[in-house]
Structure 1
Amino acid sequence: MYEEWASRIDGAVVWRVNHRGGPARPVLPDGCMDLLWSGGGLRVAGPDTHAFLVSDEDEGPCAGIRFAPGTAPAFFGVPAHELRDRRVALAGLWPGAHVRRLTERIGEAADPVAALESLALRTAADAGPPDPLTVSVAAHLRQGRSVADTARAAGLGARQLHRRSLDAFGYGPKTLARILRLQRALGLVRSGMPYAEAAYAAGCTDQAHLAREMRDLAGTTLGDYLRGRGYEASAKSDTALPSGSSTTA
C-alpha cells in the first residue's frame, strides 16, 4: 500500500510503502529527487530520465521525502546531474559518521517516517533555500511554457539555462519540460479526461505524440501503465527498466 502527504518542507512530499509485494510496476520520471529510508539505511534517489521498476521481490517498508524539482541540490550539497539515474547511499554524499548517527536515530524512533521528515527539516534549515531562479524555471515549465519563454523570463541565454538546469534538475530544460508534460497528461487522464483531450491539454500535439513520450520515458504504453496495479508514480525503487530512449538535453 502506497500513501503520500504534503511535507512541512516547502514543496516536498512525504511518502511510504507499507508492503512492497505484488507485480512490479514502472515508476515514472517526475523531475524530483528523494531521500529514502529503506532496509534500515538512508539512500538518495537521483532524478530519473527513464522509468524504474519496483521489484516484486523487494519486500518490507520503505519511505521517502520527495523534493520538488530544483530544490534538492541545496539539501544534498551536490549538483543534480551527478545523481542522474542513480541510487546512492547517503554516506557517499555526507560524512559517514554523521549518516550512521542519523540512521541509528531513525531506526530507533517509534515512527521512522516522522523521524525522517524531522531530519530533513533540520537539514533543510541548515542548508538554506534553493536557488529561486531554478525554482522559477521549474514553475514555468510545469505550467507548460516553452523553453524559450522560460529562458527569457529567467533572463538567461539558452546555454546558461542549460547549464543551470543540469545542476538543478539533473538534465536540460527540454528533458524536464517533457517529463513535466507527461506528468500533467497522466494527471488529466486519471481525472477522467479522454486520452486525446488530455494529450492536447497537457501540451502534446496529439494523442500519438503522448504515446511516443510514454514509450520513450516510461518504456510502456499509456493503457498498460494505467491498467497496472501497485505503487503510485512517486515511490522510487532500485531496479532499472530500460526505456526506448533517454536524453540530457
Structure 2
Amino acid sequence: MYSERASVFPGAVVWSRAPRERERGDAAYPVLPDGCMDLLWLDGRLVVAGPDTRAHRPADGPPAAVSGIRFAPGTAPALLGVPARELLDQRVELADLWPAARVRRLAHRIEAARDPRTGLEELALARAADTAPADPALRHAAERLAQGAAVAEVAAETGLGARTLHRRSLAAFGYGPKTLARILRLQRALELARGGLSPAEAAAAAGYADQPHFARDVRDLAGLTLGELLALTP
C-alpha cells in the first residue's frame, strides 16, 4: 500500500510503500518519470533516486518496505551537491556521493526516528540550512512548464535564453526543458484521467494534440499501453 503527504520541507512530498505480496500476473506499478529526485530509506540504506527518462520497475524478489522524500524538480541537486545529469536513470547509494561515515551517522538517526519519513525530512532540512537554495530561475521554469507553458516562453520569462536554459536545466533536472515539459505533460494527463476524465478529455486538457498523442507518450515513457497503465494500482 502506498501513502504520501506534504512534507515540512518546502515543495517536497514524503511517502511510504508497504510490502504487498503480488498474485500471479499482478504487475508492479512502475515509477514513472516526473522530473523529481527522491531520497529513499530502503533496507536500512539511504539511496538516491535520480531523475528518470523512462519508467523504473522495482527489482525482482520479495517486496520490501520503502520510505522516501520526493523533492520538487530542480531542488535535490543543490542539497546533494551533485548535478542531476550525473544521476540520470540511476539509483545510487548516498554513501557513494557523501562520506561513508557521515551517511552511517544519518542512517542511525533515521533508524531511531519514530517514522523514517520524519527522519528523511529532518535530514533534508538540516542539509538545506548548510547549502545555497536551488536556482530560483530554474524553480520558476519548472513551475511554468508544469502549467503547460512553452519552452520559448519560459526562456523569455527567465531571461536566460534558450541555450543557457538548456544547459542549466541539465544540471537542475537531468535533462533539457523540452524533455521536462513532455514528462510533466504526461503527469498532468494521467492525473486528470485518474480523476475521472476520459482519456480523450485528459489529453486535450493537458495539451496533447489528441488521445493517440497521449497514448504514444505513455508507451514511450511508461513502456505500457494507456489502458494497461490506467488499470494498474499505484
Equivalence for 2:147? 143
Q: Within 5 Å, which residues of 2 pair with 1:1-249? A: 1-22=1-22, 23-55=27-59, 57-229=61-233, 232=234
Shift of 1:158: 1.4
C-alpha distance in structure 1 between counterparts of 2:205 and 2:62, whole Å: 37
Q: CA deviation at 1:120?
A: 1.6
Question: Does the 8 A contact of 2:69 with 2:117 survive in 1?
Answer: no
- Given that 1:134 and 1:165 are in contact with CA atoms closer than 8 Å, whether structure 2 keeps it comes out as yes
Give the partner amino acid of 1:18. A
Cα deviations by residue, 1:149-200 (Å, 9 ceiling, x for unpaired) = 1111111221111101000000000100000000000011011111111101
Residues 25-34 or 51-60, more deviating: 51-60
Deviates more, 1:119-128 or 1:25-34: 119-128
* 2-structure distance, mates of 1:21, 1:30: 26
1:40 aligned partner, one-letter code: G
Q: How many residue pairs are counted as aligned between the two chains?
A: 230
TM-score, normalised by the number of residues in structure 2:
0.95
2:74 counterpart SS class: coil
Q: Which residue of 2 aligns with 1:246?
A: none
Is the deviation greater in 149-158 or in 81-90? Answer: 149-158
Q: Is the 8 A contact 2:49 2:90 kept in 1?
A: yes
The alpha-carbon deviation at position 25 of structure 1 amounts to 2.0
Kindly indicate whether structure 1 or structure 2 has the higher relative contact order, using CA contacts under 8 Å at least 6 residues apart: 1
RMSD: 1.2
Contact 2:218/2:224 (8 A) holds in 1: yes
Q: Conserved in 2, the CA contact under 8 Å of 1:5 and 1:14?
A: yes
Shift of 1:95: 1.0
Q: Percent identity among equivalent residues?
A: 61
What is the CA–CA distance in structure 2 between the aligned matches of 1:100 and 1:141, rounded to whole Å? 38
CA distance in 2, matches of 1:136, 1:73: 16
SS in 2 for 1:25: coil
Secondary structure of 2:82's aligned partner:
coil
Partner Cα distance (2:16, 2:226) in 1: 25
